[in-house]
Amino acid sequence: MKAAVEIFAAPKSGKGPMRVYLEPKVNNLKGPLKFHWYFGDGKESEEMIPKPHYYGFGKYNLMLEVTDMEEKTYTAGVNIDAALPG
């Protein structure tokens, strides 16, 4: 089976400002794993499951890097759209 990293983000879009709940989905990687979240607004986290992230108005490219015990890095990304109310 192929190694894979995905991001579960809820919600991915809505009226900003909004809180987005994040969780990694990791398949077939050998641990221990290191996680590095790039929220797209200049903030980062190294927690496996970060606290809900607060997004102001705008579009953001959220990235997750997962590094396995062999120091191989796998990435996933998702777009977050916190639209202006209207």
> Over the stretch 3-42, which tens digit does the pLDDT of each residue have?
799 999 999 999 999 999 999 999 999 889 999 999 999 9
Please state, as a whole number, how many other Cβ atoms lie within 10 Å of the Cβ of residue 50: 19
Global pTM exceeds 0.95: no
Half-sphere exposure of 54 (CA within 13 A, CB side): 2
- The two tokens of residue 86 are 């209207």
CATH numbers and ranges of domains, the chain: 4-83 (2.60.40.10)
> Over the stretch 33-86, which tens digit does the pLDDT of each residue have?
999 999 999 999 999 999 999 999 999 999 999 999 999 999 999 999 999 877
Cis amide prior to 50 (ω within 30 degrees): no
